[in-house]
Structure 1
């Protein structure tokens, strides 16, 4: 007997492809640092400014993306974000001054990627799934990771073979190719097709578009910022960004190159982290459906900090067993923090949980941006990233303590 696949799974699949296209931009920036430094003689700190702007705007866009989806729909939001990514990547190919890199990669790509951040994925999962939300959220987060890491060896090879501009052209083409697919498959709500969300017991009418998306987003921020759980979640996620996007995804290739490791090999190590990330993130989504998200977060941050503490001693011209063990452990923990963080936002802040998670994601990107800039400056001043790795490990220990302190409260309760 033939069994039809619920449309929600097709929407989730295309969402995964779209966030893969957006995610490819996140780690490619780390591969551009060394060739741009050589070609333009720009300092690591100067290049880090563009990366920092990218990450900060990514984070600032994310909460407004959730509200814009409520106002304009999934299709328009996705198509607009992909168009910005394509334009920014194309502009980056023609840069000759730092401000141009900031405008193209920092501003346009940053805003475009922010529009398709995990907040977007969380909104899709919330609209289309009543059951399996944790699993779907973990899978879509894993798709982001696939985009961030699966392209690394290919982009590294392209940069070595054809120079760095070819890699940014490829990113622009990937975003352009994903745009018509998203437009043709996405629907803004199951009710558009006369369907119930997957696992829902009853039909849910499509909510009316909400005017004042920006005002609603700011109103949610003001309300949630009056509670202690918001600041604990924001603090832990800022540390998450600092210890992943900020240092690992931006500076690992450059740090490994300082120790004599070829960039292509360093990119392969990051790709291993990305492959393991898929399993780690999906498993974290499964665990989030069954165990305390707060305790899961505390464990994740503690283990991540321990792994970063040992990383400086593992960097070498070749990949040794210790580096492989680090890649596997870090991969399991890297994006595993996302499903429990989303779950806590939903449990504590209810229907505003997706927008609250967007603001928490802003803290993630602010932490990432500060360390992306600070890591480059530290490398310029000290000639090494060792102090940055150790500082990131200390931050993760603090993140474990903050996560353990999170308690369930309603948004109306005072901190």
Structure 2
């Protein structure tokens, strides 16, 4: 018998989180494909780095812009329906990409459809699940779900890279599509929209929380939340810092790390394996950051993450070589621990300042993350075409991280449309009767 207090691992919230993590893992595998597709697409279609980077940037922008609307759609139609639809969309986009013969089709199928689907399974999805199903352990659960996307990269990337090397890039995309289609029925079976659907309290609460009614006017509500939050200083500081985060992770690493390493003579399969290893340590780093977010000042934690990441990026040009060496392994481990570690403190700060609208606000902050990622993806490719090297790109992005660190420390409580927010503290306390918000 499940305890209503929710302090046992048998609580249904953990099963819901596991189903959500499975969907996020599969969606995460799609984000690394442009990096290992660059060589095959250039060879077959003779496209430039910039052309391929354009499709990647469209994917990243839609990934970001879809997220806040997806959070509102989950409030309107339920989490389960939106997730199943998203998995079907990424599968369709992946399969259509295998029959393309022009660069605009790559932008449409991969950039638009896959971006739309993966955006619906972004970190806002994890934030929505966490807010509804948990009142304690939120930082830890956020870290686990946030690391899911990178875990997907870690699991799929070596196998997909091997498939491309030994067969072709099309079977790799078909594999991803089949994985998404296989997860959809599992999600439909296990995932539930709210604890009240099964007559339970959220994890960590002794108070039953009624399921809120569906919220109409998805687009209007999403834009209203943007308007109100955009009147506050914390929103712009978080968005600015997270845009730099996107540029220095998804935008450059997952799109250009493999070709950059190849420029130094490293085999594509080896470089892809190193990228996957970054994912291994990313899981530990993100979960650890979630654990620390439950205990430390989120602003200071965020600043430390950015400062250390910037130092690593500036050092990367002198670490790369044709073979794996101790220096590049130090980078892989350290960058992996820091890569997505910014997510739990940012989600916690959004929850602190914006309450029940925090998932949608984080969606807009995450949109800034993806815009930064998109700019780095396309400009990184343009810089490589222009200078014949990525060295300048690493230095510029490292300097950007040095700017994001003080931005994080400037976040302060201000009177807003949401009321006067309390200052961020090292331990967030959420009343039980608001756990579903």
State the TM bucket, normalised to the shorter chain: over 0.9
**Equivalent residue number for residue 114 of structure 2:** 109
Find 2:60's aligned residue among 48, 55, 62: 55
Distance 2:154 2:264 in 1: 21
**Equivalent residue number for residue 380 of structure 1:** 385
**Equivalent residue number for residue 329 of structure 1:** 334
Residue 407 of structure 1 pairs with residue 412 of structure 2: yes
SS at match of 2:416: coil
Distance 1:44 1:277 in 2: 27
C-alpha contact (below 8 Å) 2:34/2:52 kept by paired residues: no
Shift of 1:4: 7.2
Structure 1 residues without counterparts, runs of 5 or longer: none
**Equivalent residue number for residue 226 of structure 2:** 221
Distance 1:59 1:143 in 2: 17
Distance 2:410 2:44 in 1: 48
* Superposition map of 1:6-405 within 5 A: 6-405=11-410
C-alpha contact (below 8 Å) 1:52/1:368 kept by paired residues: yes
Q: TM-score, normalised by structure 2?
A: 0.93
Shift of 1:95: 1.2
CA offsets 1:111-169 (integer angstroms, 9 cap, x no match): 00000000001100111111111110101111111012321111110110111111111
Distance 1:201 1:297 in 2: 32
1:414/1:222 CA distance change after superposition, 3 Å: farther
Distance 1:394 1:170 in 2: 38
1:346/1:166 CA distance change after superposition, 3 Å: same
CA offsets 1:311-367 (integer angstroms, 9 cap, x no match): 011111101000000000000100000000000000011111111000000000000
C-alpha contact (below 8 Å) 2:278/2:335 kept by paired residues: yes
Distance 1:188 1:161 in 2: 42
Distance 1:272 1:349 in 2: 35
Shift of 1:38: 1.4
4+ runs of 1 displaced by more than 2 Å? 1-4, 408-415
C-alpha contact (below 8 Å) 2:225/2:357 kept by paired residues: yes
1:300/1:116 CA distance change after superposition, 3 Å: same
Distance 1:254 1:94 in 2: 24
Distance 2:100 2:168 in 1: 14
Q: Once superposed, what is the RMSD of the aligned Cα atoms?
A: 1.4
